[in-house]
Structure 1
Amino acid sequence: MTTAQPLHIDSPRSAPPRRNRAHTNTELYAWLFMRVSGVLLVILVLGHLFIMNILDGGVQRINFGFVAGRYASPFWQVWDLLMLWLAMLHGTNGLRTVINDYTRRDATRFTLKMVLYTATTLVIALGTLVIFTFDPNIK
């Protein structure tokens, strides 16, 4: 008769098995970016809403001339550029996390991320181009 081997269960405090990959802090930096960019976005967006809706008289004043006057100032160009970049990168990072969490196949994950990164790059590039090349005198 053979005797059964006892089941071996690792101690809950034992270290997890090491992987052969190089250790990187990419996820830590992504997590930290989400917290910092979130705080900055709250400040920028609430400031934008307060200035546009309360100090500048509301949305009924917004027209081509208003935007032309606003983009004549480097301050507003930088403000809007920061909102654009931070919002797009914050959203992209969040959606990247969702894609990593919910896709099962590597090929699907890769495809979705490439679509996400392409769309993000296009929106950031076009938005930056509009902010810095806006000219109200083009005829």
Structure 2
Amino acid sequence: MAQTQTPSAIAAPRSPYARRKTTRGNFELYSWVFMRASGVVLLVLVFGHLFVNLMVGEGVHAIDFAFVGGKWSSPFWQVWDLLMLWLAMIHGTNGVRTIVNDYAQRDSTRGVLKVLLYLASTIVVILGTLVIFTFTPCPPGAPAELLPSICFPN
């Protein structure tokens, strides 16, 4: 005769680390909602970026320094690329944070990995933002033969 187990005899599922009560409130809920919302916005930003860069004009053959310089001379494209950078980095960082929380078993390992993750993400966001807003395709005083075609020598 087969023995049946009662629900109380089933072992609890494996937990990567002990869940503690925290005062963080609904952080994980907001994180989950952010991932869905940012994913939708990222789809629009990325496909808009790909369409403009690959389908409009001469396509991929037109992408060079002058193309990027011309694009980033417009505040619209600066903000578009900035939103894409920030959302992609925050979205990706949040996803990796979730993976670290799920698979790092020791608190110290989890802490080190998350500090490294946040540090790397912050550096990329800061450097990317600086590049977008300080990019100058036509630096003053540069030799005319080194300037891209969008620059008009003085």
Shorter-chain TM-score range: 0.7 to 0.9
Question: Which residue in the other structure is 1:95 paired with?
Answer: 96
Q: Match for 1:76: what amino acid?
A: W
Distance (whole Å) between structure 2 residues aligned to residue 97 and residue 109 of structure 1: 11
Question: Which residue in the other structure is 2:113 paired with?
Answer: 112
- Size of the aligned set, in residue pairs, is 122
Tell me the secondary structure at the aligned position of residue 112 of structure 1: helix
Are residue 126 (structure 1) and residue 130 (structure 2) matched?
no
Distance (whole Å) between structure 1 residues aligned to residue 124 and residue 106 of structure 2: 27
- Which structure 2 segments of 5+ residues have no match? 1-7, 9-19, 143-154
TM-score, normalised via structure 2 length: 0.75
Question: Which residue in the other structure is 1:22 paired with?
Answer: 23
TM-superposed CA distance for 1:42, in Å, is 0.5
Are residue 52 (structure 1) and residue 59 (structure 2) matched?
no
1:72-91 CA distance string (max 9 Å, x none): 00000000001000000000
- Which structure 1 segments of 5+ residues have no match? 1-8, 10-18
TM-score, normalised via structure 1 length: 0.83
Distance (whole Å) between structure 1 residues aligned to residue 107 and residue 21 of structure 2: 19
TM-superposed CA distance for 1:65, in Å, is 1.0
Question: Which residue in the other structure is 2:81 paired with?
Answer: 80
Distance (whole Å) between structure 1 residues aligned to residue 22 and residue 120 of structure 2: 30
1:94-126 CA distance string (max 9 Å, x none): 000000000000000000000000000000000
Distance (whole Å) between structure 2 residues aligned to residue 85 and residue 94 of structure 1: 14
TM-superposed CA distance for 1:58, in Å, is 1.2
TM-superposed CA distance for 1:20, in Å, is 5.5
Change (3 A) 1:23 1:89: closer
Work out the percentage of aligned pairs sharing the same amino acid: 60
Q: Which runs of 4+ in 1 moved over 6 A?
A: none
TM-align CA RMSD: 1.3
Are residue 40 (structure 1) and residue 18 (structure 2) matched?
no
Distance (whole Å) between structure 1 residues aligned to residue 77 and residue 87 of structure 2: 15
Change (3 A) 1:104 1:62: same
TM-superposed CA distance for 1:22, in Å, is 3.0
Distance (whole Å) between structure 2 residues aligned to residue 23 and residue 134 of structure 1: 39
